[in-house]
Amino acid sequence: MDTFFCSDYSRQTGEDLIGSATNEQTYILIECPPPWISEVFNSKWVPKNLRILVDEVKRAKLPIRFLLIANDLSHKADHTTLLIYQKQEGLSNGYRKQEFKLANIEQVATVVQKWLWGMSCDSQVDNSVTRDILVCTHGNHDKCCARYGNPFYFQAIATISDLCLDNVRIWKSTHFGGHRFAPTMIDLPEGRYYGALEQDSFRSILTRTGDIQCLNKVYRGWGILPTALQILERELILSHGWDWFNYKVTGKILEQSLDNNTMQAELSFKKPSGSLYTCQAKLVKDGTKTQRLKSSCNATQESVVIKYAVANLCLTSKKVETCSV
């Protein structure tokens, strides 16, 4: 029997990646060297106090996504990096970052607890300009992330070096969803998700240059937006070009049908010049792109993945109103 790889299957079926980014309120990223087992917080180097804290946060249903991260120096590092990314309210271009430099991973739980209580911590460092790129390499969760994530990670290090990008850090990461799109990554502080990557599209994402249409194949969506709205945001990226990445955005679903086949969506954005625009569109279930597939290598059953198309897009500003169907 042939070995099944969900990432190969997704590509073969021509699945559209858009609308697969997870809409997260907060990311807490903890530097911890591999190996990482499937139940990630039971891994070898995770201390008991951190394991207990993660369980407590899950039980309290706080909107926090914990991930372990590492780079090639994490095994030898004399400190532990802790990153907390929080979604900004209203018009925003992503997440607000707090970075902590700790003596060891045992201190993480205490610092996170203080942060949850709104207390300041003297181990915080100023590193606001840095871009953190997470590549899922969590092969014990899904083998595609080892098969495609690891080689991509090592090639990406070389690409970043070739481009002389001093403000970009790249990390291996535990599972954050969408392994069938491996190699898959999150670009923080923006919080945009990408998949089915190779170095050419990665270079365009890093430099915001090249053919914007490459995002049709690799863009999973923006994690600050509800998943259905991510298709509308991609439409606007493709029409505005790389300039869109400098805009601040907010969006919401205004109404939806009982069967979820149609939705009325609204997305507002602000240009660096200060001009404010609102875009409304109807999202309609796209029967040609909605399909049944196995969402992971270990899936025993197929599941339905619903995709939407954008219709009746209408863009308004304070001065100009232009509508197109």
| pLDDT on residue 322 | 47
| pLDDT on residue 182 | 82
Same domain for 189 and 261, yes or no, is no
Q: Domain count of the chain?
A: 2
Distance CA 23, CA 40 (A): 21
Q: In the structure, what pLDDT confidence band is assigned to residue 126 with cuts at 50, 70 and 90?
A: confident
Same domain for 181 and 57, yes or no, is yes
Q: What are the angstrom distances between the C-alpha of 40 and each of 5, 37, 175, 209?
A: 21, 5, 9, 36
Same domain for 200 and 243, yes or no, is no
Residue 222 resides in a domain: no
- The pLDDT of 146-162, averaged and rounded, is 92
Residue 218 resides in a domain: no
| pLDDT on residue 325 | 40
| pLDDT on residue 323 | 47
- The pTM score is 0.92
Same domain for 126 and 236, yes or no, is no
| pLDDT on residue 2 | 54
Residue with the larger pLDDT of the pair 301 and 97: 97
Residue 194 burial (C-beta neighbours within 10 Å; 0-12, 13-18, 19+) = buried
Q: What are the angstrom distances between the C-alpha of 289 and each of 14, 62, 217, 303, 312?
A: 9, 34, 14, 14, 19
Residue 214 resides in a domain: no
Which residue is listed with tokens 């990630």? Answer: 40
Percent of the chain with pLDDT over 70: 88
Residue 282 resides in a domain: yes
Residue 275 resides in a domain: yes
pLDDT in tens, 38-72: 899 999 999 999 999 999 999 999 999 999 999 99
| Secondary structure tally for the chain: helices H, strands E | 8, 17
Q: In the structure, what pLDDT confidence band is assigned to residue 181 with cuts at 50, 70 and 90?
A: confident
Report the chain's mean pLDDT, rounded to a whole number: 89
Residue 14 resides in a domain: yes
Residues 6+ apart with CB under 8 A from 199: 155, 156, 159
Same domain for 41 and 150, yes or no, is yes
Same domain for 17 and 68, yes or no, is yes
> Has residue 324 got a pLDDT over 60?
no
- The CATH number of whichever domain residue 143 belongs to comes to 3.40.30.10
Residue 286 belongs to domain spanning: 227-323
Same domain for 116 and 250, yes or no, is no
Same domain for 180 and 283, yes or no, is no
Same domain for 17 and 128, yes or no, is yes
| pLDDT on residue 292 | 67
- Chain length of the chain: 325
Residue 215 resides in a domain: no
